[in-house]
């Protein structure tokens, strides 16, 4: 060894980038470990020959295994599965091995020791040896219980909503921001005559008469831009509808809106109010008719009171005559009411007025079946009442051998489409009535 100095040659290496990669890897592993502990994700490696699974902390947490568990037998893993899922997974695994699949995904349920059921998603990668025999399976497990619960809740909600739509008596239609139909239930099909397939994606205008379409669009736009409060459209005006056949009909509509993904969706509930409109019209007609009849009845009462007062010689006679005439009017009203005010049979009027005085031999009644209009029936009833009471007090029905012959017929006017009733009241025997004593009064005539 000489005394010459020894020189050492070397290269300086910058390891900053390598250290950063190690830190990044450590951070990712820490994140995975934390996620696993929180029960979100777990990792495993399965040896096909030993039937053992090497598992991470996250895997143990997800499956409810004791903390610190690093390895479990596959049989132990299968024992914690829902029996239906365990059988299905065995079939899927065998099929994957047989077909030399590289990857497969499945979902299964586990039952923890507490009895809690959790849904797990498994994503696996299979490696094979040189003889193409499955050797190792590695993968991750993800707890998807919350997602499954949300899916079940959504399915239940959708099923409930579909059931409501199916049995709803009212038409329910939804439209998007472009006024295109996105929902059309069974009742809407029946109401408008279109099938669901014909209208989904079509403009709402198809269900509205042409002359109202612009106004309807403006109404929808004002509603969307206004406060988020459901509204009855028909509270402002009658809403017209248009069937596929071209028939227009009145509808009652209520509308609401909801924002989905930044777009407003409007839902309209429609009800055919044709019958209600007809009922309202019938009610108006009935009220007008009732008003007319009440006025006529009051006028008749006034006339009866006036005439009775003129004929009566005492208050007692006035009261008796007035009471009898009012009873006659009430009887006539009952007959008209029982026939729904469509008319009254003349024969029935005659029979009712003669009943208090008639015997087997003192009356003779002949005439065709004639139905008098309500006003003519009321007037004829008053005439018959006067004739019957007059005959009973002063005429043929006041004597033992007297009798009354009543005949009527219907005569058609050749120059007009109307017909007239010719009525004959004849008293035989007994004193002369005032009608017999004054032939100029003649037989009364009424329009039938």
Q: Options 3.90.1280.10, 3.30.450.20, 3.30.465.10, 3.40.50.800; which CATH number does 31-147 get?
A: 3.30.450.20
Residues 6+ apart with CB under 8 A from 90: 78
Question: For the chain, which ranges sit under pLDDT 70?
Answer: 1-39, 158, 228-238, 293, 296-297, 299-300, 303-304, 307-308, 311, 339-341, 415-417, 432-448
Angle between the N-to-C axes of helices 346-354 and 315-338, in degrees from 0 to 180, rounded to the nearest 10: 140
Q: Between the CA atoms of 209, 210, 214 and 215, what dihedral angle is there, to the nearest 10 degrees?
A: -40
Query: What is the per-residue pLDDT for 351?
Result: 87
- Tell me the pLDDT tens digit for each residue of 365-395: 999 998 888 778 878 888 888 888 888 888 8
What's 440's DSSP letter? G
Give the helix ranges, DSSP H, for 365-440.
374-393, 434-437
Say if CB 231 and CB 237 are below 8 A apart.
no
Residue-wise pLDDT for 153-212, tens only, equals: 877 776 777 777 777 778 889 988 888 999 899 899 999 999 989 999 999 999 999 998
Which residues, including other chains, have CB under 8 Å from residue 239's CB and lie 6 or more apart? Answer: 233, 250, 251, 252, 253, 270
pLDDT at position 244, please? Answer: 94
How is domain 313-447 classified at the architecture level of CATH? 2-Layer Sandwich (3.30)
Helix (H/G/I), strand (E/B), else coil: 433: coil
pLDDT at 37: 53
Say which DSSP state 7 is in: P
- Same fold yes or no, 31-147 and 313-447: no
H or E element at residue 277: helix 274-311
Give 249-255's long-range contacts (Cβ < 8 A, gap of 24+). Answer: 249/274, 250/274, 250/277, 254/230, 255/220, 255/223, 255/230, 255/231
Sign of the Cα torsion 225, 229, 234, 237 reads: negative
H or E element at residue 272: strand 263-272
Q: What angle do CA 409, 414, 420 make, to 5 degrees?
A: 30
Report residue 146: phi and psi, to 5°: -60, -40
Q: Give the pLDDT of residue 108.
A: 92
- What residue spans define the domains of the chain? 31-147, 168-272, 313-447
Per CATH, the number for 168-272 is 3.30.450.20
Would you say 270 and 246 are in contact if contact means Cβ atoms under 8 Å apart?
A: no
Predicted confidence at residue 191, as pLDDT, reads 92
Q: What is the CA radius of gyration of the chain?
A: 49
Among 419, 417, 436, which residue's Cα sits nearest to residue 427? 436
């Amino acid at each position: 060894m000489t005394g010459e100095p020894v020189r050492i040659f070397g290269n300086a290496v910058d390891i900053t980038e390598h250290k950063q990669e190690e830190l990044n890897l450590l951070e990712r592993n820490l994140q995975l470990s934390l996620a696993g502990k929180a029960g979100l994700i777990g990792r495993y490696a399965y040896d096909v020959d030993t039937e053992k699974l090497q598992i991470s902390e996250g895997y143990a947490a997800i499956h409810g295994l004791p903390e610190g568990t690093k390895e479990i037998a596959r049989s132990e893993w299968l024992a914690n599965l829902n029996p239906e899922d365990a059988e299905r997974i065995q079939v899927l695994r065998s099929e994957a091995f047989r077909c030399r699949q590289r990857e497969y995904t499945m979902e299964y349920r586990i039952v923890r020791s507490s009895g809690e059921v959790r849904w797990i998603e498994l994503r696996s990668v299979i490696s094979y040896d040189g003889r193409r025999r499955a050797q190792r399976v590695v993968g991750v497990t993800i707890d998807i219980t919350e997602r499954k619960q949300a899916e079940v809740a959504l399915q239940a909600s959708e099923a409930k909503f579909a059931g409501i739509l199916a049995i709803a008596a009212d038409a329910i239609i939804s439209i998007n921001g472009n006024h295109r139909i996105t929902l059309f239930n069974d009742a809407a099909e029946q109401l408008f005559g279109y099938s669901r397939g014909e209208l989904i994606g079509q403009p709402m205008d198809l269900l509205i008469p042409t002359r109202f379409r612009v106004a309807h669009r403006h109404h929808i736009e004002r509603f969307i831009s206004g406060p988020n409060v459901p509204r009855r459209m028909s509270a402002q005006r009658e809403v017209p509808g248009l069937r596929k056949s071209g028939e227009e009909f009145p509808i009652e509509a209520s509308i609401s809106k909801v924002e989905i993904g930044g777009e407003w969706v409007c839902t309209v509930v429609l009800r055919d109010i044709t019958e209600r409109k007809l009922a309202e019209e019938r009610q108006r007609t009935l009220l007008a008719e009732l008003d007319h009849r009440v006025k006529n009845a009051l006028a008749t009462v006034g006339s009866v009171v006036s005439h009775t007062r003129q004929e009566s010689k005492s208050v007692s006679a006035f009261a008796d005559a007035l009471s009898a005439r009012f009873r006659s009017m009430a009887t006539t009203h009952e007959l008209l009411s029982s026939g729904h005010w469509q008319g009254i049979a003349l024969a029935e009027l005659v029979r009712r007025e003669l009943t208090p005085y008639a015997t087997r031999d003192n009356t003779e009644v002949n005439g065709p079946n004639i139905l008098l209009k309500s006003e003519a029936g009321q007037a004829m009833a008053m005439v018959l009442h006067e004739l019957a009471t007059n005959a009973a007090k002063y005429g043929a029905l006041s004597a033992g051998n007297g009798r009354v012959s009543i005949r009527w017929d219907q005569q058609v006017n050749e120059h007009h489409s109307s017909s007239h009733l010719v009525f004959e009241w004849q008293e035989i025997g007994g004193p002369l009535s005032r009608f017999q004593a004054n032939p100029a009064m003649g037989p009364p005539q009424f329009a039938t």
